[in-house]
């Protein structure tokens, strides 16, 4: 069963991964982080988070493929986080299984509110 207090952050950029984790921890979430899609998929399988934040551009498998693989076994809410602001990119994210999309740079408050909204809709 999905735990409403657990999140997984999948982000290859250490600074952004650390920022997202800090914002979510300060909002009361237990955060598990991964630097790539493969490790992130493992964390989602292991912890069954309420919300997973997912970078689009990562080495190995990108965020779209990671989302598709997560959707095969999990109902975690997926928040894609990307520097790409193209509408087609956002549609591709939703087609891959994302529930929402946040563009970089983002305000920490905006991230926190989106994640809390996703948890509430679970």
Task: Give me the DSSP letters along 2-50.
Answer: -EEEEEEEE-S-HHHHHHHHHHHHHTT-EEEEESSHHHHHHHHHHH-EE
Strand partners of residue 102: 81
Q: Which CATH architecture has domain 3-114?
A: 3-Layer(aba) Sandwich (3.40)
Range 50-59 average pLDDT: 93
What is the average per-residue pLDDT within 64-88? 90
78-118 per-position pLDDT tens digit: 999 988 767 777 777 787 889 999 988 999 999 999 999 99
Tokens 């955060």 — which residue? 31
> In what side-by-side order are the strands of the sheet with 3-10?
30-34, 3-10, 49-55, 77-82, 100-103
Total-model pTM? 0.93
Query: Average pLDDT in the 66-77 region?
Result: 96
Asked if the model's pLDDT at residue 16 lies above 90, the reply is: yes
Contacts of 86 (CB under 8 A, 6+ apart): none
């Amino acid at each position: 069963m999905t735990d409403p207090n657990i999140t997984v952050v999948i982000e290859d950029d250490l600074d952004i991964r650390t920022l997202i984790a800090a914002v979510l921890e300060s909002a009361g979430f237990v955060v598990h982080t991964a630097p790539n899609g493969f490790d992130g998929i493992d964390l989602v399988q292991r912890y069954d988070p309420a919300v997973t934040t997912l970078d689009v551009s990562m080495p190995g498998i990108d965020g779209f493929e990671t989302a598709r693989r997560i959707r095969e076994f999990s109902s975690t809410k997926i928040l894609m986080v990307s520097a790409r602001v193209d509408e087609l990119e956002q549609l591709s994210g939703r087609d891959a299984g994302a529930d929402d999309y946040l563009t970089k740079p983002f305000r920490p408050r905006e991230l926190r509110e989106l994640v809390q909204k996703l948890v509430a809709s679970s």
